[in-house]
Structure 1
Amino acid sequence: MLLMMSAALAALAPAAATAAQPAPAAAPATPATAALDARALATAREIIRVGFPEDKRIEMFSGVVDTMTGQMRSAMMPSLNNDPVAKGMVERKLDSFIPQGKAVMVQHIPPFMDAYAQGYAREFSQAELDQILVFAKTPVGQHYFLRSSAIIADPAFAEVNKAYLRELQPLVEKMQRELVAELTAYFM
């Protein structure tokens, strides 16, 4: 129950904080919002098109979600081993949530890819973009782009990530308790 209350209050916290803030003035143009060079953006979009073919994108994104979810479960679920009912509840909730989350994710893949291209256009010079595009068109480049995110499933990476998540869990739980207490005091 505390976990559900914590999750509900944590979900409400950003909305409550946003509602209490005055509307910000328009930010001045920064490197992230400044106009992009049309040629650089076109090259970056071509890199994304070649490096992340449309017919492979859902599989790539889903693979990352599945890998990270599996690592989080194996790192954090043992804390519920002493309560099989609670563990089952969490497992069922995750099992129902992940497909829903993936459905939302699929809708965001096209804007993610365009944002990726915009980031490339800002981060790299035209000469660098040209070289990246040449690389992306090679068999090695295509393999790299398609498989670089799969590295998170490598056993060495997975073990380090699970250790990180196990160490992080008590901090997250402490933050949740503190947030629930603060929000409860504020709203009561």
Structure 2
Amino acid sequence: MKTSLLIAGSLALVPMTYAQDKPNIIIILADDLGFSDLGCFGGEIHTPVLDNLAKNGVRMTQMYNSARSCPSRANLLTGLYPHQTGLGHMDGSHPAWPKGYSGFRSNSDNVTIAEVLKDAGYFTAMSGKWHLGNKSNPILRGFQEYYGLLGGFNSFWNPAVYTRLPKDRTPRHYEEGTFYATNVITD
């Protein structure tokens, strides 16, 4: 089964299909990473796994950055400009503000890639930072499994600030002093 990798720039969207005739899709959004930092884009950082995935997949070459993480994340998840999703500003809910700044909307004019892929028979999962406001969450927006930070960044070492959804899922247990967000999100 072929895997396509779309590298844009702490979100990992990993929809996977059970069918052999559909490609797996992995989207990685890495905050605070320059476009040319990864080896597959000519960067000086040694990134052999990502380079190999990019070599054998599809790379985004015309993704528009919205200068901040959550508006860019809304853009990547929906294919819309951040103002069209309600995130012209950061993730807060501002109902009195104009529609483009009122917070991430959950309605038919703002569909996530996870909602579309789930409807197409894909299994959809997300790990990392949601940071799209508290009016919604990854499960309500098409992801079947989620682990990460619902808000903005908090701590690499404190498991209490991370959320596992749906709520009936049991998070993995880590011995005292072994929790480190980068490894746990990957797990």
Q: How would you bin the TM-score normalised by the shorter chain?
A: under 0.3
Q: TM-score, normalised by structure 2?
A: 0.20
Structure with the higher helix share, 1 or 2: 1
Q: State the structure with more CA Rg.
A: 1
